[in-house]
Amino acid sequence: MGQTGQTIRSVKVVLSGYYGFDNSGDEAVLQSILLALKEQGEKHGIHFEPTVLSIDPEKTSRTYGVKAAHRMKPGAVLGAIRGADALISGGGSLLQDATSSKTIPYYLAILKLAQWFGKPTFIYSQGIGPVHRRFFDPWIRGTFAKCRYVSVRDIESANLLQSMGLPKDRVQVVPDPVMGLPLKEGAAAVNRESDPVVGISVRFWNEDRSELAALALGLNAVLARSSVKLNFLPFHLPSDDLASQYVVNAIDPKFKQRVSISGGITHPQDMLAEVSRCDLLIGMRLHSLIYAASQCVPLVGISYDPKIDQFLGRIGMKAAATTQSAESESIARHILTMLEQTEAWKREKQPAIERLKAEAQLPARHVTQFFKQSDKP
């Protein structure tokens, strides 16, 4: 029985996503979904028992205190889904073929398997696209049409699904789950440095590293014109460690004592705490920008993908540069201007940020309500 005397119902749910790969953004998605399900479940007398499909099930289980199954072992996946009451797919950019032609078939196959076993399926705040191979369209449409609930993290994803033939009223646009990720209890969210701290999340993108070279030149200009300290925050290990070091190596030696790298951070809430202590965040990783926004830390986005622009648009911002047209002086100007206007930025953006944080709970609420309704005679 719960605190209010209601009977607690246990619901076993499988979570499918890009989990266990040491990508802080996707791990944050997982942590956010787990916490949202727990919070909404406690409000409605439902105890969710998650099993996460992960590339490293032992680490996932140890980190989050949940059951996990190997996402690439058919027997493990089959057993997890067969023994579950439902499957949740998301969030993150799961249905896209920019990184691999195998990504969309994998995640749709997981959904189809659950549907074949008669399990209710839910799409949880996914970013859809790009889908260059349009022969995937009918498979996506058919699979999503059989889901009990579909939510996406931006209007562009909703429009893409509509272009594939999924009715508009079947899709709810919600924030990325990570907008609702809280700090760990007792975590310090205050920068105690006397000089401003600028957090930086970079990744490799262009083969010639021109975007990182331009950023390094811009950072040198910022260091020359201000007293800031730079703290690099690698989100996807180990590649972002290397990208961070690449930029650090291009910093003028006379500024090196003001530059650091916070490496080895794997738990999303530990990274969230690091971001919360920054006075400004420069981000190439989507979830570095979402972390910053959720903590009302002013941000400067460098776009390599439409998902960056889509998120910035939701808080009324545009990217300061793109990986295809990164100009060092423009980047430096954006950073210095933002440092001068941090308080004004917070006042202007806080209402939109608070709204997005509240709306981030909507998918978990829908999943919970589905099982709450199914309890009724």
Same domain? 18 vs 165: yes
* pLDDT band for position 58 (cuts 50, 70, 90): very high
* pLDDT band for position 374 (cuts 50, 70, 90): confident
pTM of the entire predicted model: 0.92
Question: Residue 377: pLDDT above 90?
Answer: no
Same domain? 326 vs 368: no
Same domain? 225 vs 347: yes
Question: Residue 293: pLDDT above 80?
Answer: yes
Residue that wins the pLDDT comparison between 363 and 377: 363
Q: What is the mean pLDDT of residues 319-338?
A: 96
Per the domain annotation, does 192 fall within a domain?
Answer: no
Same domain? 161 vs 201: no
Token pair 């420069």 is found at 282
Inter-CA distances, 89 with 8, 24, 235, 241, 249, Å: 24, 18, 22, 29, 40
Q: What is the mean pLDDT of residues 280-290?
A: 97
Per the domain annotation, does 51 fall within a domain?
Answer: yes
Per the domain annotation, does 347 fall within a domain?
Answer: yes
Domain holding 33, by residue range, is: 9-174+360-374
| DSSP notation for 295-356 | TT--EEEEESSHHHHHHHHHTT---SEETTS--HHHHHHHHHHHHHTHHHHHHHHHHHHHHH
Q: How many CA atoms lie within 13 A of 321 on its CB side?
A: 25
Per the domain annotation, does 61 fall within a domain?
Answer: yes
pLDDT at 191: 57
Domains contained in the chain, number: 2
Question: Residue 376: pLDDT above 60?
Answer: no
* pLDDT band for position 238 (cuts 50, 70, 90): very high
Same domain? 159 vs 205: no
In degrees, rounded to 5, the angle at the alpha carbon of residue 93 between the alpha carbons of residues 122 and 113 is: 40
Same domain? 35 vs 49: yes
pLDDT in tens, 8-40: 899 999 999 999 999 999 999 999 999 999 999
Per the domain annotation, does 75 fall within a domain?
Answer: yes
The DSSP symbol for 258 reads: G
Q: What is the mean pLDDT of residues 324-330?
A: 93
Per the domain annotation, does 101 fall within a domain?
Answer: yes
Per the domain annotation, does 181 fall within a domain?
Answer: no
Cα 179 to its chain centre, rounded Å, is: 8
pLDDT in tens, 192-236: 568 999 999 999 999 999 999 999 999 999 999 999 999 999 999
pLDDT in tens, 75-110: 999 999 999 999 999 989 999 998 899 999 999 999
Token pair 């002013």 is found at 298
Domain of residue 319, CATH code: 3.40.50.2000
* pLDDT band for position 7 (cuts 50, 70, 90): confident
Same domain? 142 vs 261: no
pLDDT at 217: 98
Same domain? 348 vs 201: yes
Same domain? 130 vs 14: yes
Per the domain annotation, does 179 fall within a domain?
Answer: no
pLDDT in tens, 45-55: 999 999 999 99
Q: What percent of the chain has pLDDT over 90?
A: 92
Same domain? 111 vs 240: no
Same domain? 165 vs 209: no
pLDDT at 109: 98
Same domain? 123 vs 240: no
For the stretch 166-178, what's the b/e string if a residue is b when 16 or more beta carbons lie within 10 angstroms of its beta carbon?
Answer: beeeebbbbbbbb
